[in-house]
């Protein structure tokens, strides 16, 4: 009997844990929306967080975008040779960078860099009672800690992604000219072929939602950390895994809704 019941119990416990986490995250989201009114608490920290979340993430995002652009150009050329005119390399690099790989790869990389950082920072503050200390000093910890980070994520992810898109396209362009013997005119012709201004909007909307996801999930897991260093480690890992999964789901969602 136990053999049958124990997997059922495990699933039940898992579901209860997930529902509990969702509920707590929901409450935190409501508190954060409420805390938006307390500008005097979060506004002084917004610029600093924008620098941490956005500016400091630029090198990593550009590194990823550079090599993504190179690989896209090489794979497009390999696929198209003899079947499709080579200027379609420009089309594929441009479309894929802007619509998909720019936002998604940047989002996934930053869920590791930014999301883990936020979960570890807030988690450490939780287990060392620094969040209780904020409350004891009459600070609303959600307004003070969560709101500036989440706003910085929403505002700065699109900036980082636009830069990554640009660098990815430029690296694909240079690759096409240097390694594929394409002319600059050919690449630009392909790049312009199916370009629509909405592609940029799509990329920005997606990346803003990824920014919200990574920072909010990092804050939620950090905020509800329990149990010392091990708890902080667990919260950090869960934050990265959860935000990566949500990014992939959102990626499909935006594709279905907006394209």
Partner 1 sequence: MSIELVDIHKAFGENEVLKGFSLSIQEGQTTSVIGGSGSGKSVALKHIIGLLRPDQGEVWVDGENVSRLDQESLYVLRRNVGYVFQFAALFDSMTLEENVGMGLKRMGEHSDAEIRDRSRKCLQMVDLEGYGDRLPAQLSGGQRKRAGFARAIATQPKYILYDEPTTGLDPLTTAVIDELIMRMADELSVTGLVITHNMTSAFRVSDRIAMLYEGRIRFEGTPDEVRNADDPVVKGFIEGRPELMESMP
List residues binding partner 1 (CB under 8 A): 40, 128-130, 132-140
Q: How many CB atoms lie within 10 A of CB 18?
A: 10
Query: Which C-beta is closer to partner 1: that of 95 or that of 126?
Result: 126
CB of 138 to partner 1, least distance (A): 4
CB of 135 to partner 1, least distance (A): 6
Query: Which C-beta is closer to partner 1: that of 89 or that of 142?
Result: 142
Which residue is listed with tokens 């997930």?
Answer: 18
Query: Which C-beta is closer to partner 1: that of 139 or that of 195?
Result: 139
Angle between helices 197-223 and 102-110 (to 10 degrees): 10
The rounded distance, in Å, linking the Cα atoms of 152 and 115 is: 12
Query: Which C-beta is closer to partner 1: that of 17 or that of 183?
Result: 17
**Do 152 and 213 touch, CB atoms closer than 8 A?**
no
CB of 34 to partner 1, least distance (A): 9
Query: Which C-beta is closer to partner 1: that of 41 or that of 159?
Result: 41
Query: Which C-beta is closer to partner 1: that of 129 or that of 181?
Result: 129
CB of 21 to partner 1, least distance (A): 16
CB of 222 to partner 1, least distance (A): 15
Instruction: Report CA-CA distances (Å) from 93 to 42, 73, 131.
Output: 40, 6, 46
The rounded distance, in Å, linking the Cα atoms of 167 and 93 is: 11
Query: Which C-beta is closer to partner 1: that of 136 or that of 259?
Result: 136
CB of 101 to partner 1, least distance (A): 35
Q: Which two tokens stand for residue 242?
A: 């959860």
Instruction: Name which of 85, 63, 76, 80 is nearest 171 in CA terms.
Output: 63
Q: Which DSSP string do the residues of 37-48 spell out, in sequence order?
A: T-HHHHHHHHHH
CB of 132 to partner 1, least distance (A): 5
Close Cβ partners of 254 (under 8 Å, ≥ 6 residues apart): 202, 205, 206, 209
The rounded distance, in Å, linking the Cα atoms of 187 and 87 is: 5
The rounded distance, in Å, linking the Cα atoms of 103 and 71 is: 16
The rounded distance, in Å, linking the Cα atoms of 84 and 92 is: 12
């Amino acid at each position: 009997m136990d053999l049958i019941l124990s997997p059922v119990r495990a699933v039940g416990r898992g579901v209860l844990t997930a529902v509990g986490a969702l509920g707590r995250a929901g409450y935190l989201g409501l508190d954060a929306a409420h805390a938006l009114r307390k500008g005097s608490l979060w506004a002084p920290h917004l610029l600093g967080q924008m620098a941490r979340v956005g500016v400091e993430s630029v090198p990593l995002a550009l590194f990823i975008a550079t090599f993504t652009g190179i690989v896209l150009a090489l794979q497009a050329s390999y696929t198209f040779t003899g079947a499709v005119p080579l200027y379609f390399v420009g089309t594929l690099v441009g479309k894929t960078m802007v619509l998909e790989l720019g936002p998604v790869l940047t989002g996934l990389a930053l869920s590791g860099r930014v999301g883990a950082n936020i979960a570890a920072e807030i988690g450490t503050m939780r287990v060392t009672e620094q969040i209780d200390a904020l409350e004891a000093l009459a600070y609303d910890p959600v307004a003070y800690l969560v709101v500036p980070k989440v706003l910085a994520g929403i505002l700065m992810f699109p900036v980082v992604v636009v830069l990554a898109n640009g660098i990815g396209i430029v690296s694909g362009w240079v690759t096409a000219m240097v390694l594929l013997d394409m002319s600059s005119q050919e690449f630009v012709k392909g790049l312009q072929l199916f370009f629509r201004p909405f592609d940029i909007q799509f990329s920005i909307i997606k990346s803003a939602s990824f920014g919200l996801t990574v920072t909010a999930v990092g804050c939620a897991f950090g905020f509800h950390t329990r149990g010392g260093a091990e708890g902080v480690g667990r919260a950090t890992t869960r934050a990265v895994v959860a935000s990566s999964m949500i990014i992939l789901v959102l990626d499909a969602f935006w594709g279905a809704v907006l394209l």
